[in-house]
Structure 1
Amino acid sequence: MRFAHLMTAAVTGATLIAFTVPASAHGIWFAQRARQTALVYGVGADDLDAVKRLPMIKSVAGYDADGAPVTTSLRAAGAIPVVDSDEPVAIVAAAMDYGLWSRTPDGEWHNKGRDEVPTAALAEHNWKYAVHLTQMPTKPLPMIAGHTLQIVPVDIAIPQKMGQPMKVRALYQGKPIAGATIMTDYVNDPDEAAVKTGADGTATITLRNQGLNVLMGIYVGPADDKAKVDHVEHRASLSFVLPHLPE
C-alpha cells in the first residue's frame, strides 16, 4: 500500500537540551481544533508546541473509508499543525521520531544518547505514533507503514456510548504483543491505572468520554543501537469521537 509522505511546514525546530519531565511521557494524537483536524503533542491537558516539532514528523498518511491511501499532509496554521487533504479522509496517521534521550543521576533529561552522556542512568530512543478515525470504521483498520506499534479495535464496530467496554489489540511490528500498556483516557486522566495486553495482544478498556477518546498504547522494545540507548519506547495513540445528542 502506498504511504503518503507529503508534509508542508515552513518552520524550524529548536533542539531541546534538557527536560525535567521525561521525554517519553508525552505523546501525539489528533483532535479537532476550530473545525479542523489538528496534531497535538503533549500529555493530559498539556497541549504543547507541536508546530516546533513538525520537523520530527517522519511520515503522514491518510486513508478513505475503504482503506485506500489518500494524499495527506500537515500544515502549520498559526499555533497548530492541521491536516490537509483534497479528498475526504476517514483515517489519518502520523509517526514522530523524538530522538535519543538520556537521564543523568540528577534527574535531568538530555537530547543525546549514552555515547554522549556516559554518566546517564537511563538512555532511550522515543518514537510516537498517532492514528485518528474521523468517522466510525466499516472495515478493519489498515496496518500503517512506519508504525512499529499500533493500537487497533478488535471488533470493527466501536461502541457508541461512554461506559461501554471496548476490546483493542496492540500490534508490534504487525504482530500481537503481550505486555503492552493501554491507557484509556490519555487527555483527561494521564495518571490512570492502565491495563496490560494479554498473550493474544488484547486488552478490554471502558470508554471514558461521550466525545473525544484518546487511547494510548506503550511498549518498550529492544535497543536499535546498544551503544547509544538501553531500549526504544514506542507510544501509539488511537483517537476517535463518540457522538453527543443532537442540539
Structure 2
Amino acid sequence: MKLKTVSTIFSVVALVAGLANSTTASAHAIWFAQRAKQLAMIYGVGADDLDAVKRLPLLQTVNGYDADWQKVPTTIKANGPIATVDSEDPVTTVAAVMDYGIWAKGKDGEWYKKGRDELPDAVVAEHNYKYGVFLGSLTAKVPLLEGQDLQIVPVGEIPAEYNKPATFKVMFKGKPIKGVQILRDYVNDPDQTPQITADDGTVTFDIRNQGLNVVVAIYVGQTDNAAKYDHIEHRATLSFVLPHKPE
C-alpha cells in the first residue's frame, strides 16, 4: 500500500473520530423561538431548554435586521428566567454569536472548562463557537450576516408547508463548505443521523414541521492553538416558522 494512501486513510479516520467526539461533546446550541409572544434566545439541545440568561455574558454580537436588511438596534436581555430579544423597532431577522470557550473532556467522562495545557491527558479538548439566526420571512433572499462565520443560507424560498423539499447552502467565512453535518430538526430529533453538505456546500431535505423548525450545521475546523485545544467546533442554527391554518 502506498504511503500516500495510508496517510489519507489515517486522516479520514482522524476526521471521523473528531466529528464523533465533537458532536457528542458540544451538543448544545443557541436558537430563537417564541416564548409568550416574545422572541427568545434558547440555549439547549432537543427539548432541553437550559439557562440562557446566565450565558448572556458569552454573547459576542447580537444584530437585528428589518425586511430590507438594514440594521435595527437590537439586544438580548434577561426577562425573568428567559432571554428575550429587545428592539424598539420591528425586526425581521435576528442573529447572535456566542463564544462558549474552551472545554476538555477528562478520562472520567466529565467536561471541564480547561484547555489541554491544563488537562494534558484529556480525551478531547475544543474551542466552541455557537451561532444563531432567526429568519422571519420564508421568501427573503438571505445575505451573509456579520459575525456568522458558519451560516445556513436558504437557496430560494422556504416552502410554507412541511414535507416539501428545501435546499440550503452552508457558508464558512464567506465560502461554501462541504462535509458539514446537518440536522434538520434539532428540537424534536437531536440524535438523528446527520446529512452531509455536498461539494458546493448544499444540502436538500424535506421541511420537518408545520411550525418551528431549527436546522443545525456542525463544522469541526482546525485548531489555531494546538497547546490548548485539538480543534474548533462551529455550531450554527437557522430557525424559522411555517404558519399554521387560521383559527
TM-score, structure 1 normalization: 0.89
Query: 1:14-60: per-residue Cα shift (whole Å, max 9, x none)?
Result: xxxxxxx9551100000000000000000000000000110111110
Deviation at 1:119, TM superposition (A): 1.2
Contact 1:65 1:137 in 2 (8 A): no
* Aligned counterparts of 2:224 and 2:103: Cα–Cα separation in 1: 13
Deviations 1:194-233 (A, max 9, x none): 1000000000011110000000000000112111000000
Count of equivalent residues: 225
Q: CA separation in 2, counterparts of 1:87 and 1:136?
A: 20
> How far off its partner does 1:92 sit?
0.1
Q: Where does residue 19 of structure 2 map in the other structure? A: none
Q: Per-residue deviation at 1:135? A: 2.8
Q: Percent identity between the aligned chains?
A: 57
Contact 1:22 1:109 in 2 (8 A): no
Equivalents in 1 of 2:33, 2:224: separation in Å? 31
Q: Which runs of 5 or more residues in structure 1 are unaligned?
A: 1-20
Partner of 2:145: 144
Residue matched to 1:117: 119
The aligned amino acid for 2:88 is: D
Equivalent position of 2:232 in the other structure: 232
Within 2, Cα distance between the matches of 1:53 and 1:105?
A: 26
Separation (CA, whole Å) in 1 of partners of 2:122 and 2:25? 14
What residue is the counterpart of 1:176 in the other structure? 176
> Is the Cα contact below 8 Å between 1:23 and 1:101 reproduced in 2?
no
- Give matches, 1:74-85, under 5 Å: 74-85=76-87
One-letter amino acid of the counterpart of residue 38, structure 1 = A
Q: Which runs of 4+ in 1 moved over 3 A?
A: none
- 1:47 maps to 49
Q: Is the 8 A contact 1:23 1:126 kept in 2?
A: no
| 1:172-205 CA-partner distances (Å, limit 9, x unpaired) | 1110000001110000000111100000000001
Structure 2 counterpart of 1:27, one-letter code: A
Whole-angstrom distance in 2 between the partners of 1:213 and 1:82: 18
- Secondary structure at the aligned position of 1:52 is classed as helix
What corresponds to 1:34 in structure 2? 36
For residues 177-192 of structure 1, the aligned pairs below 5 Å read 177-192=177-192
Q: State the one-letter code of the partner of 1:143.
A: L
Structure 2 contact 181–218 (Cα < 8 Å) conserved = yes
In the TM superposition, 1:6-25 aligns within 5 A as 23-25=25-27
CA root-mean-square deviation? 1.2
State how far apart, in whole Å, the 2-side matches of 1:22 and 1:215 are: 17
Structure number with the higher helix fraction is 2
Instruction: Tell me how far apart the structure 1 counterparts of residues 149 and 118 of structure 2 sit (CA, whole Å).
Output: 26
Distance 2:27 2:164 in 1: 27
Q: Does 1:135 align with 2:145?
A: no
Q: Please give the alpha-carbon distance, in whole angstroms, between the structure 2 residues aligned to 1:143 and 1:225.
A: 27
Residue 3 of structure 1 corresponds to none
What 5-or-longer segments of structure 2 have no aligned partner?
1-22
Q: What is the distance in 2 between the residues matched to 1:113 and 1:137? A: 43
Please tell me whether residue 203 in structure 1 is matched to residue 203 in structure 2: yes
Name the amino acid aligned to 2:204. Answer: T
Which of the two has higher C-alpha Rg? 2
Whole-Å separation in 2 of the counterparts to 1:232 and 1:107: 20
Q: In 1, are the aligned partners of 2:138 and 2:160 still within 8 Å (CA)? A: no
